[in-house]
Structure 1
Amino acid sequence: MACPVGLALRGQALVVRGGSRFLAMSTASSDGDASLFTYDCSTAERKTPESGGEDGQPVDKGSDTILAAAFSTSGSYFAVTDDSKRLILFRTKPWQCLSVRNVVRRCTALTFTASEQRVLVADKSGDVYSFSVSEPDASGRLELGHLSMLLDVAVSPDDRFVLTADRDEKIRVSWAAAPHCIESFCLGHTEFVSRIVVVPGHPELLLSSSGRLAASRIACWAQEDYVALLCDCVPVVYIFQLDLSAQQLAFAQRLTFQHRVWDVAFEEAQGLWVLQDCPEAPLVLYTPLDGRWQAVPASALVDRLSHCLRRNWAMLEGSTGADEGFRGLYKATFDNMAAYLKRKEERLQQRRRSPPHGTPGPAKKSRVDQALSC
């Protein structure tokens, strides 16, 4: 549903994904190319479920394209789901693939619980499954379900609640210990809910985005309560600041780019990383200076990371051709008024051509007349 090129960041580990591959790099200035880790889902182990596919049909192989990815809270784990219905779990210190497990249906979003004990994956059928981290080969467990496609999933910092957002305008808050028990619904949207984020440091606050101009990313910077909003891979990033007293977002700045922006992510120690469709400068770092977010001048760190992406540019460039973003999720509107008026005019014209009620028509011949005429 979101842009097929993505950015994930936790601590000093930065991951860029495109197509079936992802690259993990370090933002520590002392680390060089030795810290680079690459993985291609097309080389992952393929397991055929014993039960086969849905409705007993053969399991389709898929394109291996990465559909969703996320770090755990501490950054010790990383997980991806791909178009071949697999969940792949990694340890990050050092990077190592721990397991490859099947999921029932293609997933749209995933997240770790705050305790890092389980991975939650949301899929297109509206279900959420959980997978163990400590038992990396254990099968998944169905936790909850919606009647429509899920687009995002999140957990509260205390792991008490699971929050899910679906195509039918709803955000559901369920008890993690008993997901069939619903704490509440958030029903303020009128289109599909594309993203939900629990504000870091403020577990009572939830940020969400919906249709019109759907957000493909909501990123939060806990240092000064900044929020970055990227709308469906357009070349603009909107910066807001959270007003805690009024519990509102105050618009702060608009960052405009000459190239399409694929994704954004905050690094607590440095600022906002922007991934864009530009081989010369694929990564740009922004930091606040005198109350304004400004691009950091060329540095050895930005040059090193950008150089690594340039060497793997085919991974990014080749994965955006069929990107439709959220366009297929908007409600279809039907304007049948024109057809109704046309049919009404045709009926009126037909009435005008017909003789008025009570006017005698042509006399019919009697049987005698018919016989004489023969």
Structure 2
Amino acid sequence: MASLVCMKKSLVVESGNSFKVYDRYGKHDVVYSHSIVCRAKNEKEKTEGSKTSEEKDDEKVKGEGGGEGPGSDKILARACSVPDGYFAVATDNKELILWKTTPTWKHISTRTVARRCTALVFTFKGDAILAADKSGDVYSFSVSDPEAPGTLLLGHLSMLLDIAIKDDDSFLITCDRDEKIRISHYPNTHSIYGYCLGHTEYITALCLSPYPDGVLLSGGGDGTVRVWDWLRGKELHVEHLAKFCGELKDNKPPVVSKLVCNWVGKLVAVVVEGLDSVILFKLHTEVAPRLDAQLIESNPLPCKGKVWDVAFDCNGYLWVAQAVKDNTVQVYKYMPSCRPLMCVSSQEHFVDITTAINSDWDFFQSSLGEDTMYSGLYKKHFDNLTPYFERKEERMKGKKRKEDKKGDEEGSKKVRSEEVV
């Protein structure tokens, strides 16, 4: 799936194992491009073979190495620091790669992670990259010491799917496959502040509001977007997405693959896996007498093909990536008088960059027909009680038959003995 990352001065467009960085304010040229290339298998084996068993065990504890098989060069997660300064990606080959973006893009380091990552986020101080992985752990990787191994921060009992951090770096929020949203103090993540419980399937997306303080949005495999007062662990609003999606595949609920917010206009954009439109909401909040919030429906944004990704830039413009040749990336502006949104791709400020991106259709070929991992995360429920009670009933019947047979035999012996007497 192609992805977009809106930085303050740049736009990062990603597909498969490659990404390109476009200048948003200059000539709109590609200022940097990179393709991930896996190290040769024999090279990795040679490197691993030179290590002692103690070093390998120590690396697993620190966040290097791992117990999974060799991966591909596909990019699994990405993140940029706030403000712009660093950019990082995590690959299917269990590597965390860091770049410095100012004044020019420069590769800093490539580190190995314990397991394949599902989400990345920079702290707002910009001193660490927090990586959530498939084993349910979150590791912290130093930015100032780019060669240092990761430090384990916390762990869940199931796969982590997204991660968010408060804008003052005081709380870390994680969500997993077991329908849990966990709020932990940061950096002392051993201290759990609380949970937000209510989803009935795995949770794929988190979006934390800087204002008003305490509003969290989440979406997942149960086909809902939920609004939380996460400081109290209270659910404020539930929005079911099935009504926007028409006929659903295999009668399963729609899966939220991306959830982003524009806090200037309090506009919420939701991407549902496989849907050819962006679902839009307005977030209405009240802070007195107690914090309250709800989502107000807005007209969906129709697209010409399956939506891959969406992102808001710092000016509130919505960038949409879709599986359509010559119209792969489009830009939209929110205006209260225009519903759902007004397309501004052809305006002077955006026409050069969208033309440059959309003319490079070959770059997006690796994203065509690619499925996300979410469809395979539904749990299989087995009814073990019914067969158990059936077997128990059969045993009870068999036991009763034996007892009846034994009683009949004893009765016949008694009758024979009386006849003899």
For the pair 1:6 / 2:3, whether they are aligned, the reply is yes
Q: Deviations over 1:152-179 (max 9, x none)?
A: 1111111111111111011111111211
Alpha-carbon shift at residue 228 of structure 1 (Å): 0.7
Provide the residue aligned with 2:184 in structure 1. Answer: 174
Q: Which has the higher contact order (CA 8 A, sep 6+)?
A: 1
Provide the residue aligned with 1:38 in structure 2. Answer: 33
TM-score (norm 1): 0.83
2:23 aligns with one of 10, 22, 26: 26
Q: Following the alignment from structure 1 to structure 2, what is the Cα–Cα distance between the partners of residues 244 and 57?
A: 44
Residue 352 of structure 2: SS of its match in structure 1? helix
Tell me, yes or no, if the aligned pair for 1:197 and 1:207 is still in contact at 8 Å.
yes
Provide the residue aligned with 2:158 in structure 1. Answer: 148
Residue 318 of structure 1: SS of its match in structure 2? helix
Provide the residue aligned with 2:269 in structure 1. Answer: 228
| Structure 1 unaligned residues grouped into runs of 5+ | 347-355, 360-374
Q: Following the alignment from structure 2 to structure 1, what is the Cα–Cα distance between the partners of residues 39 and 259?
A: 30
Residue 223 of structure 1: SS of its match in structure 2? coil
Alignment of 1:57-206 (within 5 A): 60-93=69-102, 94-206=104-216
Provide the residue aligned with 1:352 in structure 2. Answer: none
CA gap 1:57/1:240 in 2 versus in 1, 3 angstroms: closer
1:315 aligns with one of 354, 359, 363: 363
Amino acid of the structure 2 residue aligned with 1:283: V
Q: Which sits farther off after the overlay, 178-187 or 48-57?
A: 48-57
Provide the residue aligned with 1:279 in structure 2. Answer: 325
Q: Following the alignment from structure 1 to structure 2, what is the Cα–Cα distance between the partners of residues 297 and 175?
A: 42
Residue 362 of structure 2: SS of its match in structure 1? helix
Instruction: Percent identity, please.
Output: 38
CA gap 1:57/1:205 in 2 versus in 1, 3 angstroms: closer
More helix by percentage: 2
Provide the residue aligned with 1:239 in structure 2. Answer: 280
Amino acid of the structure 1 residue aligned with 2:128: R
Amino acid of the structure 1 residue aligned with 2:105: W
Root-mean-square deviation over aligned CA pairs: 3.4
| Structure 2 unaligned residues grouped into runs of 5+ | 224-254, 287-291, 395-403, 409-421
Q: Deviations over 1:167-222 (max 9, x none)?
A: 10111111112111111111121111111111133341111112233211111112
Provide the residue aligned with 1:366 in structure 2. Answer: none
Residue 328 of structure 1: SS of its match in structure 2? helix
TM-score (norm 2): 0.74
Q: Following the alignment from structure 2 to structure 1, what is the Cα–Cα distance between the partners of residues 325 and 350?
A: 13
Alpha-carbon shift at residue 75 of structure 1 (Å): 1.9
Equivalences, count: 354
Provide the residue aligned with 2:413 in structure 1. Answer: none
Q: Deviations over 1:101-132 (max 9, x none)?
A: 11011000010011000000000000100001
